[in-house]
A and B are shown apart, each in its own frame.
Chain A
Protein backbone atom coordinates (compact mmCIF):
# COMPACT_ATOMS: atom_id res chain seq x y z
CA UNK A 1 0.00 0.00 0.00
CA UNK A 2 2.72 2.44 0.96
CA UNK A 3 6.24 2.08 -0.41
CA UNK A 4 9.16 4.17 0.72
CA UNK A 5 12.39 4.08 -1.25
CA UNK A 6 15.57 5.71 -0.11
CA UNK A 7 13.81 8.42 1.89
CA UNK A 8 16.15 11.08 3.24
CA UNK A 9 15.06 14.10 5.18
CA UNK A 10 17.17 17.11 6.16
CA UNK A 11 16.10 19.96 8.40
CA UNK A 12 17.55 23.41 7.74
CA UNK A 13 19.28 22.17 4.63
CA UNK A 14 22.20 24.30 3.52
CA UNK A 15 22.44 26.13 6.81
CA UNK A 16 25.03 25.69 9.55
CA UNK A 17 22.53 23.77 11.66
CA UNK A 18 21.67 21.34 8.87
CA UNK A 19 20.46 18.09 10.36
CA UNK A 20 19.67 14.83 8.63
CA UNK A 21 16.85 13.11 10.50
CA UNK A 22 16.40 10.26 8.04
CA UNK A 23 19.21 8.54 6.11
CA UNK A 24 17.68 6.42 3.36
CA UNK A 25 14.62 4.51 4.48
CA UNK A 26 13.32 1.65 2.36
CA UNK A 27 10.08 0.13 3.54
CA UNK A 28 6.87 -1.38 2.23
CA UNK A 29 3.76 -1.17 4.39
CA UNK A 30 0.98 -3.65 3.91
CA UNK A 31 -2.65 -2.65 3.77
CA UNK A 32 -5.00 -3.73 6.52
CA UNK A 33 -2.26 -4.26 9.11
CA UNK A 34 -1.03 -2.39 12.18
CA UNK A 35 2.60 -1.38 11.87
CA UNK A 36 4.43 0.04 14.88
CA UNK A 37 7.65 2.04 14.80
CA UNK A 38 9.87 1.67 17.81
CA UNK A 39 13.10 3.43 18.57
CA UNK A 40 14.88 5.81 20.92
CA UNK A 41 13.93 9.43 21.12
CA UNK A 42 15.26 11.40 18.18
CA UNK A 43 15.53 8.37 15.93
CA UNK A 44 13.22 9.90 13.33
CA UNK A 45 9.90 8.12 13.96
CA UNK A 46 7.76 11.23 13.94
CA UNK A 47 9.62 12.61 10.95
CA UNK A 48 8.93 9.43 9.02
CA UNK A 49 5.21 9.53 9.88
CA UNK A 50 4.88 13.14 8.70
CA UNK A 51 6.35 12.11 5.35
CA UNK A 52 4.10 9.07 4.99
CA UNK A 53 1.06 11.15 5.99
CA UNK A 54 1.80 13.88 3.41
CA UNK A 55 2.36 16.47 6.13
CA UNK A 56 5.83 17.13 4.76
CA UNK A 57 7.93 16.11 1.81
CA UNK A 58 11.15 14.08 1.83
CA UNK A 59 14.34 15.88 0.86
CA UNK A 60 15.07 12.99 -1.50
CA UNK A 61 13.61 9.57 -2.24
CA UNK A 62 10.17 8.44 -3.31
CA UNK A 63 6.90 7.82 -1.53
CA UNK A 64 4.39 5.66 -3.36
CA UNK A 65 0.83 5.50 -2.17
CA UNK A 66 -1.27 2.78 -3.81
CA UNK A 67 1.30 2.67 -6.61
CA UNK A 68 1.29 6.39 -7.30
CA UNK A 69 4.35 8.51 -6.67
CA UNK A 70 3.18 11.26 -4.36
CA UNK A 71 6.52 12.74 -3.31
CA UNK A 72 6.51 15.29 -6.12
CA UNK A 73 2.86 16.35 -6.02
CA UNK A 74 2.00 19.98 -5.37
CA UNK A 75 0.58 21.04 -2.03
CA UNK A 76 -3.05 21.03 -3.17
CA UNK A 77 -2.96 17.40 -4.22
CA UNK A 78 -1.13 16.37 -1.08
CA UNK A 79 -3.87 18.03 0.96
CA UNK A 80 -6.52 16.15 -0.98
CA UNK A 81 -4.77 12.83 -0.39
CA UNK A 82 -4.23 13.69 3.25
CA UNK A 83 -7.91 14.49 3.74
CA UNK A 84 -9.26 11.50 1.85
CA UNK A 85 -6.82 8.81 2.83
CA UNK A 86 -5.20 9.64 6.16
CA UNK A 87 -6.57 10.18 9.62
CA UNK A 88 -4.22 11.54 12.27
CA UNK A 89 -4.18 11.02 16.00
CA UNK A 90 -1.57 13.37 17.34
CA UNK A 91 0.49 12.88 20.44
CA UNK A 92 -0.87 16.09 21.96
CA UNK A 93 -4.32 15.37 20.51
CA UNK A 94 -4.29 18.87 19.02
CA UNK A 95 -7.96 19.50 19.53
CA UNK A 96 -9.19 23.05 19.01
CA UNK A 97 -10.00 24.64 22.33
CA UNK A 98 -13.28 26.42 22.84
CA UNK A 99 -15.13 24.22 20.41
CA UNK A 100 -17.34 21.31 21.39
CA UNK A 101 -16.21 17.73 20.93
CA UNK A 102 -18.68 17.43 18.06
CA UNK A 103 -17.36 20.51 16.24
CA UNK A 104 -13.82 19.23 16.59
CA UNK A 105 -14.74 15.91 15.10
CA UNK A 106 -16.54 17.23 12.04
CA UNK A 107 -13.90 19.87 11.29
CA UNK A 108 -11.85 17.73 8.86
CA UNK A 109 -14.97 17.19 6.75
CA UNK A 110 -15.73 20.88 6.17
CA UNK A 111 -13.67 21.21 2.99
CA UNK A 112 -15.50 18.24 1.49
CA UNK A 113 -18.77 20.15 1.55
CA UNK A 114 -20.77 17.26 2.98
CA UNK A 115 -24.02 18.54 4.50
CA UNK A 116 -23.87 19.29 8.16
CA UNK A 117 -26.72 16.94 9.09
CA UNK A 118 -24.84 14.00 7.58
CA UNK A 119 -21.65 14.98 9.40
CA UNK A 120 -23.41 15.23 12.72
CA UNK A 121 -25.00 11.83 12.17
CA UNK A 122 -21.64 10.28 11.28
CA UNK A 123 -19.96 11.89 14.28
CA UNK A 124 -22.71 10.74 16.63
CA UNK A 125 -22.26 7.20 15.42
CA UNK A 126 -18.50 7.41 16.01
CA UNK A 127 -19.05 8.77 19.49
CA UNK A 128 -21.38 5.92 20.27
CA UNK A 129 -18.81 3.39 19.12
CA UNK A 130 -16.22 5.07 21.33
CA UNK A 131 -18.62 5.25 24.27
CA UNK A 132 -18.50 9.01 24.32
CA UNK A 133 -22.00 9.92 23.16
CA UNK A 134 -22.82 11.73 26.39
CA UNK A 135 -19.91 14.18 25.88
CA UNK A 136 -20.87 15.27 22.38
CA UNK A 137 -21.58 18.88 23.25
CA UNK A 138 -18.90 19.33 25.90
CA UNK A 139 -16.08 21.75 25.21
CA UNK A 140 -12.92 19.78 24.63
CA UNK A 141 -10.90 21.47 27.36
CA UNK A 142 -13.31 20.09 29.96
CA UNK A 143 -12.72 16.50 28.86
CA UNK A 144 -10.37 14.09 30.59
CA UNK A 145 -7.24 12.89 28.82
CA UNK A 146 -8.84 9.62 27.76
CA UNK A 147 -11.96 11.36 26.53
CA UNK A 148 -9.87 13.85 24.59
CA UNK A 149 -8.03 11.02 22.98
CA UNK A 150 -11.23 9.38 21.88
CA UNK A 151 -12.36 12.70 20.41
CA UNK A 152 -9.07 12.82 18.54
CA UNK A 153 -9.67 9.29 17.27
CA UNK A 154 -13.20 10.14 16.17
CA UNK A 155 -11.81 13.16 14.33
CA UNK A 156 -9.29 10.92 12.55
CA UNK A 157 -12.14 8.71 11.37
CA UNK A 158 -14.75 11.25 10.22
CA UNK A 159 -13.60 11.23 6.59
CA UNK A 160 -13.40 7.42 6.68
CA UNK A 161 -9.67 7.24 5.81
CA UNK A 162 -7.88 4.12 4.66
CA UNK A 163 -4.83 4.82 6.77
CA UNK A 164 -4.70 5.92 10.39
CA UNK A 165 -1.51 7.51 11.61
CA UNK A 166 -1.02 7.73 15.35
CA UNK A 167 2.09 9.26 16.92
CA UNK A 168 2.64 8.03 20.47
CA UNK A 169 -1.09 7.50 20.89
CA UNK A 170 -0.86 6.10 24.41
CA UNK A 171 1.75 8.48 25.81
CA UNK A 172 -0.85 10.34 27.86
CA UNK A 173 -2.92 7.36 28.89
CA UNK A 174 -2.91 4.99 31.84
CA UNK A 175 -2.83 1.22 31.41
CA UNK A 176 -6.58 0.74 31.26
CA UNK A 177 -7.05 3.43 28.63
CA UNK A 178 -4.06 2.14 26.66
CA UNK A 179 -5.63 -1.28 26.56
CA UNK A 180 -8.88 0.28 25.41
CA UNK A 181 -6.97 1.99 22.62
CA UNK A 182 -5.49 -1.31 21.51
CA UNK A 183 -8.99 -2.74 21.39
CA UNK A 184 -10.07 0.11 19.15
CA UNK A 185 -7.03 -0.64 16.94
CA UNK A 186 -8.21 -4.19 16.47
CA UNK A 187 -11.55 -2.95 15.29
CA UNK A 188 -9.77 -0.76 12.71
CA UNK A 189 -7.99 -3.73 11.21
CA UNK A 190 -11.21 -5.72 11.24
CA UNK A 191 -12.71 -2.88 9.19
CA UNK A 192 -9.79 -3.24 6.77
CA UNK A 193 -7.93 -0.10 7.74
CA UNK A 194 -4.18 0.32 7.75
CA UNK A 195 -2.62 1.69 10.93
CA UNK A 196 0.80 3.24 11.43
CA UNK A 197 1.89 4.15 14.92
CA UNK A 198 4.94 4.98 16.94
CA UNK A 199 5.42 3.98 20.52
CA UNK A 200 7.88 3.41 23.32
CA UNK A 201 5.22 1.61 25.26
CA UNK A 202 5.82 -2.18 25.56
CA UNK A 203 2.11 -2.59 26.16
CA UNK A 204 1.50 -1.30 22.63
CA UNK A 205 4.47 -2.76 20.81
CA UNK A 206 4.03 -6.24 22.28
CA UNK A 207 0.26 -6.24 21.95
CA UNK A 208 -1.37 -8.83 19.73
CA UNK A 209 -3.16 -6.00 17.92
CA UNK A 210 0.15 -4.96 16.35
CA UNK A 211 1.12 -7.07 13.37
CA UNK A 212 4.55 -5.71 12.67
CA UNK A 213 7.13 -3.78 14.64
CA UNK A 214 9.80 -1.79 12.79
CA UNK A 215 12.84 -0.64 14.76
CA UNK A 216 14.56 2.67 14.12
CA UNK A 217 17.81 4.26 15.24
CA UNK A 218 19.55 7.42 14.09
CA UNK A 219 17.32 7.84 11.10
CA UNK A 220 17.77 4.29 9.87
CA UNK A 221 15.69 1.12 10.12
CA UNK A 222 17.15 -1.52 12.39
CA UNK A 223 15.08 -4.51 11.36
CA UNK A 224 11.92 -6.04 12.73
Chain B
Protein backbone atom coordinates (compact mmCIF):
# COMPACT_ATOMS: atom_id res chain seq x y z
CA UNK B 1 0.00 0.00 0.00
CA UNK B 2 1.29 3.48 -0.75
CA UNK B 3 2.41 5.59 2.22
CA UNK B 4 -0.26 8.11 1.35
CA UNK B 5 -3.00 5.50 1.69
CA UNK B 6 -1.42 4.11 4.85
CA UNK B 7 -1.39 7.59 6.26
CA UNK B 8 -5.09 8.12 5.52
CA UNK B 9 -5.77 4.78 7.14
CA UNK B 10 -3.84 5.82 10.22
CA UNK B 11 -5.78 9.07 10.35
CA UNK B 12 -9.09 7.23 10.11
CA UNK B 13 -7.98 4.73 12.75
CA UNK B 14 -7.04 7.53 15.06
CA UNK B 15 -10.29 9.36 14.32
CA UNK B 16 -12.31 6.28 15.19
CA UNK B 17 -10.33 5.81 18.39
CA UNK B 18 -10.88 9.49 19.25
CA UNK B 19 -14.60 9.20 18.62
CA UNK B 20 -14.77 6.10 20.79
CA UNK B 21 -12.94 7.93 23.57
CA UNK B 22 -15.64 10.57 23.85
CA UNK B 23 -18.42 8.09 23.41
CA UNK B 24 -21.25 9.75 25.31
CA UNK B 25 -20.55 13.15 23.89
CA UNK B 26 -20.28 11.92 20.33
CA UNK B 27 -23.29 9.66 20.61
CA UNK B 28 -25.28 12.57 21.96
CA UNK B 29 -24.12 14.71 19.10
CA UNK B 30 -24.93 11.99 16.60
CA UNK B 31 -28.37 11.59 18.09
CA UNK B 32 -29.25 15.29 17.94
CA UNK B 33 -27.81 15.54 14.48
CA UNK B 34 -29.67 12.46 13.24
CA UNK B 35 -32.88 13.75 14.74
CA UNK B 36 -32.43 17.00 12.96
CA UNK B 37 -31.80 15.36 9.61
CA UNK B 38 -34.76 13.13 10.30
CA UNK B 39 -37.14 16.04 10.84
CA UNK B 40 -35.82 17.99 7.88
CA UNK B 41 -35.79 14.96 5.60
CA UNK B 42 -39.26 13.89 6.68
CA UNK B 43 -40.62 17.33 5.86
CA UNK B 44 -38.91 17.44 2.50
CA UNK B 45 -39.87 13.94 1.51
CA UNK B 46 -43.40 14.44 2.70
CA UNK B 47 -44.12 17.70 0.95
CA UNK B 48 -42.48 16.41 -2.19
CA UNK B 49 -44.52 13.23 -2.11
CA UNK B 50 -47.75 15.19 -1.61
CA UNK B 51 -46.96 17.34 -4.58
CA UNK B 52 -46.32 14.28 -6.70
CA UNK B 53 -49.56 12.72 -5.50
CA UNK B 54 -51.56 15.79 -6.37
CA UNK B 55 -50.05 15.88 -9.80
CA UNK B 56 -51.03 12.27 -10.33
CA UNK B 57 -54.53 12.83 -9.14
CA UNK B 58 -55.07 15.91 -11.21
CA UNK B 59 -53.43 14.60 -14.34
CA UNK B 60 -55.98 11.81 -14.52
CA UNK B 61 -59.03 13.86 -13.73
CA UNK B 62 -61.25 15.58 -16.32
CA UNK B 63 -61.20 19.35 -16.80
CA UNK B 64 -64.75 19.79 -15.58
CA UNK B 65 -66.90 17.63 -13.35
CA UNK B 66 -70.56 18.43 -13.10
CA UNK B 67 -72.40 17.56 -9.92
CA UNK B 68 -76.07 17.98 -9.28
CA UNK B 69 -77.01 19.70 -6.06
CA UNK B 70 -80.18 19.13 -4.05
CA UNK B 71 -80.62 21.18 -0.92
CA UNK B 72 -76.96 22.05 -1.08
CA UNK B 73 -75.91 18.44 -1.20
CA UNK B 74 -74.40 16.32 -3.92
CA UNK B 75 -77.13 14.21 -5.55
CA UNK B 76 -77.54 11.76 -8.41
CA UNK B 77 -77.70 12.98 -11.96
CA UNK B 78 -81.18 12.14 -13.21
CA UNK B 79 -81.87 10.69 -16.69
CA UNK B 80 -81.84 13.11 -19.57
CA UNK B 81 -79.32 15.47 -18.00
CA UNK B 82 -76.57 14.57 -20.39
CA UNK B 83 -78.80 15.50 -23.32
CA UNK B 84 -79.93 18.71 -21.66
CA UNK B 85 -76.36 19.94 -21.72
CA UNK B 86 -76.51 19.76 -25.48
CA UNK B 87 -73.59 20.82 -27.56
CA UNK B 88 -71.21 23.29 -25.95
CA UNK B 89 -68.37 24.72 -27.95
CA UNK B 90 -65.01 23.40 -26.80
CA UNK B 91 -66.31 20.30 -25.05
CA UNK B 92 -64.67 17.32 -26.64
CA UNK B 93 -66.34 14.59 -24.71
CA UNK B 94 -68.97 14.26 -22.03
CA UNK B 95 -69.84 11.14 -20.13
CA UNK B 96 -71.88 10.16 -17.14
CA UNK B 97 -69.74 8.51 -14.45
CA UNK B 98 -70.83 5.88 -11.99
CA UNK B 99 -68.83 5.40 -8.83
CA UNK B 100 -69.34 4.86 -5.12
CA UNK B 101 -67.79 3.59 -1.97
CA UNK B 102 -68.09 0.09 -0.66
CA UNK B 103 -67.21 -0.88 2.89
CA UNK B 104 -65.53 -4.26 3.13
CA UNK B 105 -65.94 -5.68 6.63
CA UNK B 106 -63.23 -8.28 5.97
CA UNK B 107 -60.49 -5.69 5.69
CA UNK B 108 -62.32 -2.94 7.50
CA UNK B 109 -61.63 -0.72 4.53
CA UNK B 110 -63.46 1.37 1.97
CA UNK B 111 -63.10 0.53 -1.72
CA UNK B 112 -63.97 2.74 -4.62
CA UNK B 113 -66.26 0.93 -7.06
CA UNK B 114 -66.33 2.43 -10.50
CA UNK B 115 -68.31 1.38 -13.56
CA UNK B 116 -66.53 1.00 -16.88
CA UNK B 117 -68.00 0.53 -20.35
CA UNK B 118 -68.61 -3.06 -21.45
CA UNK B 119 -65.68 -2.79 -23.86
CA UNK B 120 -63.33 -2.62 -20.87
CA UNK B 121 -64.92 -4.87 -18.28
CA UNK B 122 -67.32 -7.68 -19.11
CA UNK B 123 -70.31 -8.59 -16.98
CA UNK B 124 -69.35 -10.66 -13.95
CA UNK B 125 -65.75 -9.57 -14.15
CA UNK B 126 -63.81 -7.03 -12.10
CA UNK B 127 -60.42 -5.40 -12.17
CA UNK B 128 -58.89 -4.65 -8.78
CA UNK B 129 -56.17 -2.34 -7.47
CA UNK B 130 -52.84 -3.76 -6.54
CA UNK B 131 -53.08 -3.02 -2.80
CA UNK B 132 -56.54 -4.53 -2.58
CA UNK B 133 -55.44 -7.64 -4.47
CA UNK B 134 -52.52 -8.00 -2.08
CA UNK B 135 -54.63 -7.60 1.02
CA UNK B 136 -57.31 -10.00 -0.09
CA UNK B 137 -54.88 -12.41 -1.71
CA UNK B 138 -56.36 -12.06 -5.18
CA UNK B 139 -54.85 -12.94 -8.54
CA UNK B 140 -56.13 -13.10 -12.08
CA UNK B 141 -58.99 -15.62 -12.54
CA UNK B 142 -59.72 -15.86 -8.80
CA UNK B 143 -63.27 -15.23 -7.74
CA UNK B 144 -64.42 -13.03 -4.91
CA UNK B 145 -67.76 -12.33 -3.33
CA UNK B 146 -69.03 -9.06 -1.95
CA UNK B 147 -72.18 -8.69 0.06
CA UNK B 148 -74.06 -5.68 -1.23
CA UNK B 149 -75.61 -3.04 1.03
CA UNK B 150 -78.98 -4.72 0.50
CA UNK B 151 -77.59 -8.01 1.80
CA UNK B 152 -77.31 -9.91 -1.47
CA UNK B 153 -74.11 -11.80 -2.29
CA UNK B 154 -72.41 -11.05 -5.62
CA UNK B 155 -69.57 -13.14 -7.00
CA UNK B 156 -67.07 -11.73 -9.47
CA UNK B 157 -64.11 -13.09 -11.32
CA UNK B 158 -60.89 -11.09 -11.34
CA UNK B 159 -60.05 -10.19 -14.92
CA UNK B 160 -56.89 -8.28 -14.09
CA UNK B 161 -54.96 -6.61 -11.30
CA UNK B 162 -54.39 -2.93 -12.07
CA UNK B 163 -50.82 -1.80 -12.62
CA UNK B 164 -49.26 -0.41 -9.48
CA UNK B 165 -47.53 2.65 -10.93
CA UNK B 166 -50.19 5.02 -9.66
CA UNK B 167 -50.90 3.21 -6.47
CA UNK B 168 -52.64 6.09 -4.82
CA UNK B 169 -55.26 6.19 -7.54
CA UNK B 170 -55.80 2.52 -8.03
CA UNK B 171 -54.94 0.98 -4.67
CA UNK B 172 -58.52 0.58 -3.48
CA UNK B 173 -60.17 0.62 -6.88
CA UNK B 174 -62.61 -1.97 -8.16
CA UNK B 175 -63.67 -1.62 -11.80
CA UNK B 176 -66.79 -3.43 -12.89
CA UNK B 177 -69.32 -3.41 -15.69
CA UNK B 178 -72.04 -0.77 -15.63
CA UNK B 179 -74.81 -3.36 -15.33
CA UNK B 180 -73.08 -5.08 -12.41
CA UNK B 181 -72.57 -1.72 -10.75
CA UNK B 182 -76.26 -0.82 -10.95
CA UNK B 183 -77.35 -4.22 -9.69
CA UNK B 184 -74.83 -4.28 -6.88
CA UNK B 185 -75.70 -0.84 -5.48
CA UNK B 186 -79.32 -0.96 -6.71
CA UNK B 187 -78.49 2.23 -8.54
CA UNK B 188 -81.54 3.59 -10.39
CA UNK B 189 -81.42 3.06 -14.16
CA UNK B 190 -80.41 6.14 -16.15
CA UNK B 191 -78.91 7.90 -13.14
CA UNK B 192 -75.25 8.80 -12.82
CA UNK B 193 -72.96 9.91 -10.00
CA UNK B 194 -71.61 12.87 -11.91
CA UNK B 195 -70.71 14.04 -15.39
CA UNK B 196 -67.16 14.41 -16.65
CA UNK B 197 -66.38 16.81 -19.50
CA UNK B 198 -63.11 17.11 -21.36
CA UNK B 199 -62.15 20.56 -22.55
CA UNK B 200 -59.07 20.73 -24.72
CA UNK B 201 -58.40 24.45 -24.51
CA UNK B 202 -57.77 25.70 -20.97
CA UNK B 203 -58.95 29.18 -22.02
CA UNK B 204 -62.43 27.85 -22.66
CA UNK B 205 -62.93 26.11 -19.36
CA UNK B 206 -64.54 29.14 -17.68
CA UNK B 207 -66.90 29.72 -20.61
CA UNK B 208 -67.92 26.10 -20.54
CA UNK B 209 -68.58 26.34 -16.82
CA UNK B 210 -70.72 29.45 -17.30
CA UNK B 211 -72.76 27.78 -20.01
CA UNK B 212 -73.25 24.69 -17.86
CA UNK B 213 -74.57 26.73 -14.98
CA UNK B 214 -76.94 28.52 -17.34
CA UNK B 215 -78.21 25.28 -18.84
CA UNK B 216 -78.50 23.40 -15.56
CA UNK B 217 -79.01 25.89 -12.71
CA UNK B 218 -79.24 23.14 -10.10
CA UNK B 219 -75.77 21.81 -10.85
CA UNK B 220 -72.29 22.76 -9.85
CA UNK B 221 -69.29 22.56 -12.19
CA UNK B 222 -66.01 21.70 -10.50
CA UNK B 223 -63.04 22.90 -12.49
CA UNK B 224 -59.76 21.10 -12.37
CA UNK B 225 -57.87 24.38 -12.23
CA UNK B 226 -59.88 25.37 -9.17
CA UNK B 227 -59.13 22.09 -7.49
CA UNK B 228 -55.57 22.69 -8.40
CA UNK B 229 -55.67 26.09 -6.76
CA UNK B 230 -57.26 24.65 -3.64
CA UNK B 231 -54.58 22.04 -3.45
CA UNK B 232 -52.01 24.71 -4.00
CA UNK B 233 -53.26 26.94 -1.21
CA UNK B 234 -53.44 24.03 1.15
CA UNK B 235 -49.93 23.08 0.12
CA UNK B 236 -48.78 26.60 0.69
CA UNK B 237 -50.31 26.68 4.10
CA UNK B 238 -48.82 23.34 5.02
CA UNK B 239 -45.55 24.42 3.65
CA UNK B 240 -45.69 27.58 5.72
CA UNK B 241 -45.92 25.45 8.82
CA UNK B 242 -43.22 23.21 7.52
CA UNK B 243 -40.96 26.12 6.75
CA UNK B 244 -41.42 27.41 10.28
CA UNK B 245 -40.43 24.05 11.63
CA UNK B 246 -37.62 23.94 9.13
CA UNK B 247 -36.30 27.32 10.17
CA UNK B 248 -36.46 26.28 13.80
CA UNK B 249 -34.59 23.12 13.06
CA UNK B 250 -31.91 24.93 11.14
CA UNK B 251 -31.56 27.41 13.96
CA UNK B 252 -31.19 24.60 16.48
CA UNK B 253 -28.63 23.09 14.23
CA UNK B 254 -26.71 26.32 13.95
CA UNK B 255 -26.64 26.58 17.72
CA UNK B 256 -25.42 23.03 17.98
CA UNK B 257 -22.72 23.61 15.42
CA UNK B 258 -21.71 26.87 17.01
CA UNK B 259 -21.50 25.36 20.44
CA UNK B 260 -19.36 22.60 19.08
CA UNK B 261 -17.28 25.17 17.26
CA UNK B 262 -16.82 27.57 20.13
CA UNK B 263 -16.50 24.82 22.66
CA UNK B 264 -13.23 23.34 21.52
CA UNK B 265 -12.28 22.09 24.94
CA UNK B 266 -8.96 22.73 26.65
CA UNK B 267 -8.40 18.99 26.44
CA UNK B 268 -8.84 19.01 22.66
CA UNK B 269 -6.55 22.01 22.29
CA UNK B 270 -3.92 20.27 24.38
CA UNK B 271 -4.20 17.18 22.23
CA UNK B 272 -3.77 19.18 19.05
CA UNK B 273 -0.65 20.70 20.62
CA UNK B 274 0.69 17.26 21.51
CA UNK B 275 0.06 15.90 18.03
CA UNK B 276 1.86 18.84 16.50
CA UNK B 277 4.76 18.59 18.94
CA UNK B 278 5.31 14.93 18.16
CA UNK B 279 5.49 15.59 14.47
CA UNK B 280 2.02 15.93 13.00
CA UNK B 281 1.63 18.67 10.46
CA UNK B 282 -1.11 21.27 10.72
CA UNK B 283 -2.59 19.61 7.63
CA UNK B 284 -2.61 16.18 9.29
CA UNK B 285 -4.46 17.52 12.29
CA UNK B 286 -7.01 19.24 10.08
CA UNK B 287 -7.44 16.18 7.87
CA UNK B 288 -8.03 14.05 10.94
CA UNK B 289 -10.71 16.45 12.12
CA UNK B 290 -12.27 16.53 8.65
CA UNK B 291 -12.58 12.77 8.84
CA UNK B 292 -14.15 13.13 12.25
CA UNK B 293 -16.63 15.75 11.09
CA UNK B 294 -17.49 13.86 7.92
CA UNK B 295 -17.92 10.62 9.78
CA UNK B 296 -20.37 12.15 12.20
CA UNK B 297 -22.28 14.18 9.67
CA UNK B 298 -22.47 11.47 7.03
CA UNK B 299 -23.59 8.87 9.53
CA UNK B 300 -26.19 11.26 10.87
CA UNK B 301 -27.32 12.16 7.38
CA UNK B 302 -27.70 8.56 6.29
CA UNK B 303 -29.42 7.45 9.49
CA UNK B 304 -31.68 10.48 9.55
CA UNK B 305 -32.61 10.21 5.91
CA UNK B 306 -33.32 6.50 6.03
CA UNK B 307 -35.49 6.77 9.12
CA UNK B 308 -37.28 9.69 7.52
CA UNK B 309 -37.89 7.62 4.41
CA UNK B 310 -39.34 4.77 6.43
CA UNK B 311 -41.34 7.23 8.50
CA UNK B 312 -42.90 8.98 5.54
CA UNK B 313 -43.46 6.12 3.15
CA UNK B 314 -44.10 3.20 5.47
CA UNK B 315 -45.75 4.91 8.40
CA UNK B 316 -47.49 7.69 6.50
CA UNK B 317 -45.58 10.43 8.30
CA UNK B 318 -47.27 9.40 11.53
CA UNK B 319 -45.39 11.94 13.61
CA UNK B 320 -46.72 14.86 11.60
CA UNK B 321 -50.25 13.65 11.68
CA UNK B 322 -51.57 16.24 14.14
CA UNK B 323 -50.35 19.02 11.87
CA UNK B 324 -51.39 17.40 8.66
CA UNK B 325 -54.70 15.90 9.61
CA UNK B 326 -56.55 18.15 7.21
CA UNK B 327 -55.42 15.95 4.39
CA UNK B 328 -58.08 13.42 5.12
CA UNK B 329 -60.57 15.94 3.76
CA UNK B 330 -59.00 15.61 0.37
CA UNK B 331 -58.10 11.95 0.47
CA UNK B 332 -60.33 9.61 2.42
CA UNK B 333 -57.33 7.36 2.79
CA UNK B 334 -54.00 7.56 1.17
CA UNK B 335 -50.60 6.00 1.09
CA UNK B 336 -47.76 8.02 -0.32
CA UNK B 337 -45.94 6.77 -3.35
CA UNK B 338 -42.20 6.87 -2.64
CA UNK B 339 -40.79 9.78 -4.58
CA UNK B 340 -37.38 11.31 -4.09
CA UNK B 341 -36.22 14.50 -5.69
CA UNK B 342 -32.45 14.49 -6.21
CA UNK B 343 -32.20 18.24 -5.93
CA UNK B 344 -33.99 18.21 -2.60
CA UNK B 345 -31.70 15.54 -1.26
CA UNK B 346 -28.72 17.56 -2.40
CA UNK B 347 -30.10 20.70 -0.76
CA UNK B 348 -30.71 18.86 2.46
CA UNK B 349 -27.26 17.35 2.33
CA UNK B 350 -25.70 20.73 1.73
CA UNK B 351 -27.57 22.41 4.57
CA UNK B 352 -26.76 19.76 7.13
CA UNK B 353 -23.37 18.25 6.33
CA UNK B 354 -21.62 21.32 5.01
CA UNK B 355 -22.23 23.86 7.79
CA UNK B 356 -21.37 21.35 10.45
CA UNK B 357 -18.10 20.36 8.86
CA UNK B 358 -17.23 23.99 8.23
CA UNK B 359 -18.17 25.05 11.75
CA UNK B 360 -16.03 22.30 13.20
CA UNK B 361 -13.06 23.16 11.07
CA UNK B 362 -12.65 26.85 11.85
CA UNK B 363 -11.64 26.50 15.51
CA UNK B 364 -9.58 23.41 14.74
CA UNK B 365 -7.75 25.35 12.14
CA UNK B 366 -7.11 28.17 14.58
CA UNK B 367 -5.83 25.77 17.21
CA UNK B 368 -3.77 23.87 14.68
CA UNK B 369 -1.82 26.81 13.30
CA UNK B 370 -0.52 28.00 16.68
CA UNK B 371 3.01 27.06 17.67
CA UNK B 372 3.09 23.79 19.59
CA UNK B 373 5.55 25.01 22.24
CA UNK B 374 2.72 25.45 24.76
CA UNK B 375 2.75 21.71 25.44
CA UNK B 376 6.20 22.10 26.97
CA UNK B 377 4.84 24.03 29.93
Contacts and interface: CB of A to CB of B under 8 A. Distances in A.
Contacts of B21: 97-99
Nearest to A118: B6
A141 to B, nearest CB: 11
B11 interface: yes
Nearest to B278: A108
A108 B274 CA distance: 10
Contacts of A97: 21, 267
| Chain B facing A: main interface SS | helix
Interface of A: 46, 49-50, 55-57, 75-76, 79, 82-84, 88, 90-91, 94, 96-99, 103, 107-108, 110-116, 155, 159, 167
Given A79-B279, A96-B271, A108-B279, A55 B376 contact: yes
Q: Kindly state the interface size class of chain B when it binds its partner.
A: 35 or more
Contact of B3 (A79, A112, A167): A112
Interface stretch (B35-43, B112-120, B151-159, B367-375): B367-375
Nearest to B372: A55
Nearest to B270: A94
B249 interface: no
B278 A107 contact: yes
A99 B17 contact: yes
A10 to B, nearest CB: 14
Interface in B3-59: 3-7, 9-11, 13-14, 17-18, 20-22
B265 to A, nearest CB: 12
Interface of B: 1-7, 9-11, 13-14, 17-18, 20-22, 267, 270-271, 274-282, 284, 371-373, 375-377
Contact of B376 (A75, A90, A115): A90
B376 A111 contact: no
Contacts of B277: 55, 82, 88, 90, 94
Contacts of A79: 276, 279-282
Given A79-B282, A113-B10, 16 more contacts: A46-B376, A55-B372, A55-B373, A56-B372, A75-B281, A75-B282, A79-B280, A90-B375, A98-B18, A107-B14, A110-B14, A113-B2, A114-B3, A115-B6, A155-B278, A159-B279
Contacts of A98: 17-18, 20-22
Nearest to A46: B376
A75 B377 CA distance: 21
B82 to A, nearest CB: 82
Contacts of A50: 373, 376
A58 B371 CA distance: 12
B11 to A, nearest CB: 7
B284 A111 contact: yes
Contacts of B20: 98
Nearest to B287: A111
A96 B274 contact: yes
Contacts of B274: 94, 96
B24 to A, nearest CB: 12
Contacts of B9: 116
Nearest to A115: B6
A86 B215 CA distance: 99
B377 A46 contact: yes
